[in-house]
Structure 1
Amino acid sequence: MDFGASILAAIALVLIFEGLLPLISPTRWREMFTQLLQLQDGQIRFFGLAVVLLGFFLLIWLI
């Protein structure tokens, strides 16, 4: 599998995982989304940074 195919496979997996909660429990997903809208920009940025760093370190660990 070349690099381009690996990137597409990774994006496909993200889309699958992102779609699971709204598929299984749309009511819970809506509640979580409403709570997310109540967060301040700094809190959302911190969460985004934490997810990016986690993904980065996981990628380094896998390679």
Structure 2
Amino acid sequence: MMDDLLRVLGLVLIIEALLPFISPRTYRQAVAQIALTPDSRMRIIALVILLLGLALWVWG
């Protein structure tokens, strides 16, 4: 189980690093846009992502 967890963590890190590696300018623009997003909208987006991740984890 620990092997699987480490592989998943590694995959998350790879996916997270793709955009800044491929297109740093686009990444900066996206981060600047995220910084302007209101807290309430950010919480809703985070909740949806959390629920989606939980669903994938349970059903996977």
Is TM-score (shorter-chain normalized) higher than 0.5?
yes
**Amino acid corresponding to residue 57 of structure 2 in structure 1:** L
The answer for the alignment partner of 1:28 in structure 2 is 26
Q: Percent identity, please.
A: 37
The answer for the alignment partner of 2:53 in structure 1 is 55
- 1:7 and 1:48 map into 2 onto residues whose CA distance is 21
Task: Describe the superposition over 1:8-54 as per-residue Cα deviations: whole angstroms up to 9, x where unpaired.
Answer: 11110000000000000000000000000001111111111111111
Worse overlay, 15-24 or 40-49: 40-49
What is the number of equivalent residue pairs in this alignment? 60
Structure 1 residue 61: Cα displacement: 1.7
| Structure 1 outlier segments of 4+, above 6 Å | none
Normalised to the residue count of structure 1, the TM-score between the two structures is 0.89
Structure 2: where are the runs of 5+ without partners? Answer: none
